[in-house]
Structures are given as structure tokens and as C-alpha cells.
Amino acid sequence: MRMRRWRKKRCFWAENVPEIYVRYHDEEWGREVHDDHKLFEMLLLESFQAGLSWLTILKKREAFREAFDAFDVAKVAGYTEEKQKELMQNPGIIRNRLKIRAAVKNAVIFQQIQREYGSFSAYLWGFTEGKVIYRTQKELPTHTALSDEISADLYKRGMRFVGSVIIYSYLQAVGIVNDHEPDCFLHTSSKACG
């Protein structure tokens, strides 16, 4: 008697794609993140993704980790013009001067928010009173009133490359919004990953 191998059902975008995308879906996307270090990493990566595919960012993630001092927000906030010029020469990352400058400025503002709220996590999760928002497949927008509100607040504080679409993607990535499809094996699982 042959046993059938059970195959996990995933969100449509994680089917028939490179393994790095499948791992990201299975191990990170949509899982609650409360760790400021991880929240900064994802904010930096999402801001660099603007206009590009997420797969491009995933493939360059380790180069970003090395180039941006393991996403140490204090170090990134202190990057000098010389360090920014050095990053522009790094072929392993997205070499966009505006995005590099934004990463440094955003790190400074990230730290200001940490001081104001005790943590960036408290600030971010405060928008939903600490609750995960679950959506149905019919409700998969590119932005929402929540992402509009957070984006506007971050812009007002001086952050860049944090438009509502980028912020909505960020909210999905860090588990504030769980957009796993109803038949995905992770639909109701939002186990914390950081």
C-alpha cells in the first residue's frame, strides 16, 4: 500500500517559486514580530524593495546584512557620508543613493520612536492595540486605512520610502496583518518569530 505524501498548501505566491521564497513564506511572513532589531531589519529591506521584486531583496538579504552591520539600528543611524559612498559601491545590495540616505535617516527616526514609546514594537503594535488583523482572500488590498495612518505618521516624523503600499507590505511581513490565504497551512498561525 502506497502512502500519499501530504503536501502543505501555501499562499498562491509561494507556490512554484524558488526555495528562498518558500522558506520566507513558511518561516517569516505573517508571523508576529515584536523584536525591535527584526522590525528594523524588515523596515530597511521593505524600503529598499520599493519598485523591485521581493525576490530580488531576498536574494540580496545576506549582502544587506553584511553591508548594514547586521541591521544594527544604532550603527546605521551613525553612518557618515563616507560610509554611504562605500555602500554605493557595494554590488551586493541595491545601490540607490536615495534609499541609502533614507535608511540612515530612518534609523535615526526609528531610535527617536524607541525613546518616545519605549520600543518601536510598542509604537507599531499600538496602532492595532496589540492585535493581529486577519483578512479574507477577497480583502487583499495593496494598502489600507491602517497603512495610510502609519505611513503618514512616519512621513511626518521624517522617514522616507515608507509609503502606504510599502507599509502595508511591512505590516504583512511582521505579522500585524495576517494575509495568509484561508487554505494556506499558516492562515491562523501567527507564531512569533522575533
Backbone angles phi, psi at 11, to 5 degrees: -60, 150
Q: Tell me the pTM.
A: 0.91
Quick check: is 54 catalytic? yes
Of the candidates 29, 32, 41, 46, the residue annotated as catalytic is 46
Answer whether residue 19 is part of any domain.
no
Number of domains in the chain: 1
SS3 of residue 136 by DSSP: coil
Answer whether residue 68 is part of any domain.
yes
Answer whether residue 14 is part of any domain.
no
As a whole number of angstroms, the distance between CA 100 and CA 44 comes to 9
What does each C-alpha distance from 53 to 12, 57, 85, 87, 94 come to in angstroms? 16, 7, 24, 20, 12
- The amino acid sitting at 138 is K
Spell out the per-residue pLDDT of the chain, length 194, in tens: 555 556 789 999 999 999 999 999 999 999 999 999 999 999 999 999 999 999 999 999 999 999 999 999 999 999 999 999 999 999 999 999 999 999 999 999 999 999 999 999 999 999 999 999 987 656 677 899 999 999 999 999 999 999 999 999 999 999 999 999 888 999 875 445 55
Quick check: is 46 catalytic? yes
Answer whether residue 86 is part of any domain.
yes
Answer whether residue 23 is part of any domain.
no
Its domain, for residue 158, covers 33-178
Of the candidates 24, 29, 79, 125, the residue annotated as catalytic is 24
Q: What is the pLDDT of residues 10-22, one digit of tens each?
A: 999 999 999 999 9
- When the pLDDT of each residue in the chain is averaged and rounded to a whole number, the result is 93
Q: What share of the chain is helix, strand, coil (3-state, %, to 5)?
A: 55, 0, 40
